[in-house]
Every structure is written in structure tokens, then in C-alpha cells.
Amino acid sequence: MISSHTECLVFRGPERSLESSSYVFFNPVGEPGCTVMAGSCAAHESIGSRVACRLALAHFSQALLDYFTRNAPTKSREDSSVAAIENAFREANRSVYQFGHSLAAGGRLAAVFMSLVYIPNSDGGASFCVGRVGSGPAYLLREGSLFPFFEAEKSLEQVPTENYLGTNSLVSVDIANVPVEPGDRVLLFSERLSEGAVNDLEVLLSDGRPPSSIEEISHVLFNDPAQVGFSFSLQVGQPTVFLPVSARM
């Protein structure tokens, strides 16, 4: 049985503005333990990208809430999470793309986006559903071992295929859905990691070391942490038995 207790933490570089990097945490179904984490970053320094950053986050969040309001009672939680995140990315991209064309700025509104949906099932299980547009990495820490959600580029020198939210009428979204085990921790980063940074992350999170905060991790991984768009951490608690106040031992 998966605990309903989760710990959600975020780090954003102090030199990043709200217009260039925004994030939100919320509970989409109003039940204990259910969590959505979503972050958006301007893909470029332009005003258009900053508009895309804020607009994408607003429409993604609203689309996700609307989806669960309409569909949660009729579908399994695991299926709902995948379908909901697909729908939310589609609606966010459509909104940003259409807004750009209404301003004769089509193709110039561009955002990098990542999201994690965690909703326990009624049978006590749960899954992590992670989606991204861009090349930000996501990792699962389980029993001292680190596992990537997505295949990473071989190096920072390898130029990723340009795929931003809002640039085109259709967007390619990477989605991974992984069953949860007690004690799991998920880490999401808006910025790509070098091979050396991934090695540093494995050392920081290895067994026998005290847990590192997401701020500490970001300062180790990035050359200029003050410019980091966002780093997310979600920790699932161990199963807990709650006894009534009147219980006697």
C-alpha cells in the first residue's frame, strides 16, 4: 500500500524572473496524496517566449483540472493520468500557438515544459506519470539506484531537435508512466545535465548518505545555479498505520 504522504520541493535560480520561469503544485482531485507538479520556462530570451511560459502553465493547469473533473469517475487512475497529461499538453500547445498567430507572432512563442502527475489508486497502488516538451531530464530514485524516465542526449554538445511548446500546431510530448513503490523519489530538471552531473547526482543520492535537498542538488549539478529554471523533487512516504485516539497498547 502506498502512503498518502508526499513531500514536494522546488528550487528556482534566484536570478530567474517569474516571466522566464514559472511553476505550480496542486491537487487535481482533492484527495490525500494526489499531486501535480508543472514547470514552464521561456525557451528564448524574447518577450514572446516569456509570454509562452506563463500562458502555457495557465492553460496546462486548467486543462488538467477540467479533465479530472469530467473523467476521473469513469476511468482507472493510471489511465486517467496518461490521458489527462496528453490532453493538457495538447490544450496548452494549442492555446499558445493560436495566441501567437493572433498577434502575427506565429512560431516565436516557445516554452520548455515538464510535469509530474501522481495520483494513488483506490486499490492502494499508484504511478508516476511524467511528461515533457524539451530536453529536461527526469529521474526515479528507488532503493539507492537512479533510473532515467527518458533517454538522454549523449552529450551537451549534441544539439537536441528543436521541440518547444507553442511553436507549431502539433507538438511532440515525451510521456513515461512508472508504478510507484514506497519511498520512491522523483527528480525533474528544466536544464539538461552533463554526463559528469549525472554521475554527481548518483553519488549524492546513493545509499548511506543523508538525503540531499533539491537546492543542494541543484548547486552541485549546475555551473550557474542562479540561472536554473526549476528543479523539482517529490518523495513518497512509507506506508503508515494510523491508530484512533482511543487505542490502548
pLDDT, greater one: 125 or 58 = 58
- Domain annotation covers residue 209: yes
Instruction: Report the distance separating Cα 247 and Cα 51, nearest Å.
Output: 55
- Domain annotation covers residue 248: no
Whether the per-residue pLDDT at 30 is higher than 90: the answer is no
Cβ atoms < 10 Å from Cβ of 27 = 14
Q: How confident is the model at residue 240 (pLDDT cuts 50, 70, 90)?
A: very low
DSSP string, 141-161: EETTEEEESSPPPS-TTSPPP
Residue 30 backbone class (left: φ over 0; alpha: ψ -120 to 50; beta: rest): left
Instruction: Report the distance separating Cα 14 and Cα 5, nearest Å.
Output: 29
**Predicted pLDDT of residue 76:** 58
Q: Per the structure, how many domains does the chain have?
A: 1
Chain-centre distance of CA 201, in angstroms? Answer: 18
pTM: 0.87
Mean per-residue pLDDT, 38-67: 95
- Domain annotation covers residue 249: no
Q: How confident is the model at residue 157 (pLDDT cuts 50, 70, 90)?
A: low
Residues spanned by the domain of 217: 6-236
| Helix/strand/coil for 200 | helix
Chain-centre distance of CA 177, in angstroms? Answer: 12
- Domain annotation covers residue 73: yes
Mean per-residue pLDDT, 24-36: 90
Instruction: Report the distance separating Cα 54 and Cα 51, nearest Å.
Output: 6
Mean per-residue pLDDT, 206-223: 86
Among the ranges given (34-38, 49-53, 117-121, 136-140), the one the predictor scored with the smallest mean pLDDT:
117-121
- Domain annotation covers residue 130: yes
Picking from 84, 24, 26, the residue whose alpha carbon sits closest to that of residue 53 is 24
Q: What's the grid cell of residue 38?
A: 508543472
Mean per-residue pLDDT, 51-78: 84
Cβ atoms < 10 Å from Cβ of 185 = 17
pLDDT, greater one: 31 or 96 = 96
**Predicted pLDDT of residue 140:** 96
**Predicted pLDDT of residue 158:** 53
Instruction: Report the distance separating Cα 72 and Cα 78, nearest Å.
Output: 10
Mean per-residue pLDDT, 42-64: 95
Mean per-residue pLDDT, 12-16: 95
Write the CATH number for 124. Answer: 3.60.40.10
pLDDT digits (tens, 9 = 90+) for 187-204: 999 999 999 999 999 999
| 198 touches 169 (CB < 8 A) | no
- Domain annotation covers residue 213: yes
Looking at residue 42, its amino acid is: A
